[in-house]
Amino acid sequence: MGYTVIYAPSNYELARTYRQFPDLVKTIIIEGSDARKCLKDSKCIKTPTHPLGIPLWKMFSMHFWRGQSHPLGNAWTLSPENYPLFDAQNSAGNYYLGYSIERACREIPITPPDVRPRQAYVFAKRLSYFYNRDFAWPNISFVAPPELDISLVGGIGDDTDHHSPIPEGIKNFGVLPKHQFYEELGRSRALVGIGLPFLSPSPYDALCMGVPFINPIAHWDEEHPDDRVLWGSQHDGLKFENPPYVYNVRSGDAQALWKAIHDALSNPIDRYIPADMTMDALKLRLGNLIEADWRGKAEEILRQRNETGKGELFEL
């Protein structure tokens, strides 16, 4: 996109490099903890006695999870998912930067659905996921009903203390190298979520290889059960998607789970990349981040803090 990227391994190197051409640096992406450390470091942050220090408003914290992680709050917190869309209470105002799997995924050829074995990939790289309180299918057998004629496979590593058993019905390949994981995933006809891990990129990879994702819903509002904004799922970034790409299934509902697997088998999909996960969408969000008037937004925050005496002050 025409921007030069400089990597600094520490706040010291960041501040030293920034001082050489402060007016040319438009945006700094940094860990939230490092942004807070810089704010308290007179050799890093801009102050009246250190005018070539880094203005706080130029720094943005990359934070994978919900909530803010920056001294200036949500607007300076960069999120991998569009949290404000589906978690307004906890992440209102976070900047949705996101990422894209498009380039990497398009290098992987799609296995035609009609030559794939009748298998579904159980998305669990750790055995402990099956014994976690967030496990989506407790007391449900993974032995597929005979009429489905499907096998369940997975690449599961034993990270438990007592070498707990792998649920019956799942053929385990063990921990797989990345290329073998993609190979088995691409040969499958569905990716079955079990509640963990949260917000992994793998369901995006699956969709891009033509593999539907079964997304467990862990929480919903009993009075408004179909309001997806109020759902809490394994992958909230995909809870607004619909079949035949994503099947949102309530946790613990065995009948709905097997129906979703049946429907995925019966309705194969082509390569699918959600609109927000394309490179074009990412470039648009990144351009808006770099070119927006963040100093103006920071001026308003500084004015409010000066009036109320609340929060840490900073130099523009």
CATH code of the domain in which 130 resides: 3.40.50.2000
As a whole number, mean pLDDT of residues 174-201 equals 95
39 with 83, same domain: the answer is yes
Answer yes or no: do 83 and 108 share one domain.
Answer: no
**Overall size of the chain counted in residues:** 316
**Are residues 219 and 112 part of one domain?**
yes
Same domain membership, residue 134 and residue 77: no
Residue 91 above 70 pLDDT?
Answer: no
Is the domain of 254 the same as that of 137? yes
The answer to whether residue 301 is domain-embedded is yes
Asked if residue 62 has pLDDT above 70, the reply is yes
- Are 23 and 126 in the same domain? no
| 6 within some domain | no
How many structural domains comprise the chain? Answer: 2
pLDDT at 88: 56
Same-domain status, 232 and 117? yes
Burial of residue 298 (CB within 10 Å: 0-12, 13-18, 19+) is buried
pLDDT confidence band for 216 (50 / 70 / 90): very high
Contact 233, 248 (CB under 8 A): yes
Same domain, 109 and 242: yes
> CA-CA distance, 312 to 73, in Å (whole number)?
11
pTM of the entire predicted model: 0.90
For residue 313, is it within any domain? no
Assess if residue 2 is contained within a domain. Answer: no
How far is it, in rounded angstroms, from Cα 266 to Cα 244?
9
* Whether 266 and 289 share a structural domain: no
* pLDDT for residue 311 is more than 60: yes
- The pLDDT of residue 294 is 96
pLDDT at 50 over 90: yes
Residue 112 has pLDDT above 90, yes or no: yes
Mean pLDDT of 105-125: 94
Lowest mean pLDDT among 92-106, 220-234, 239-253, 297-311: 297-311
| 81 pLDDT higher than 70 | yes
Displacement of CA 255 from its chain's centroid (Å): 28
> How many CA atoms, within 13 angstroms, populate the side-chain half-sphere of residue 124?
30
At 203 the pLDDT is: 97
Considering the chain, what is the average pLDDT of its residues? 93
Block residue for tokens 């105002």: 93
In a domain, 258, yes or no: yes
> Residue 144's domain spans which residues?
102-273
The verdict on residue 314 lying in a domain is no
- pLDDT > 90 fraction of the chain, expressed in percent and rounded: 85
Do 285 and 300 share a domain, yes or no?
yes
**Any domain includes 46:** yes
* 1 assigned to some structural domain: no
pLDDT bucket at 92, cuts 50 / 70 / 90: low
Contact yes or no for 62/78 (Cβ under 8 A)? yes
> 90 pLDDT exceeds 90?
no
Q: What is the pLDDT of residue 293?
A: 95
Q: What is the pLDDT of residue 67?
A: 86
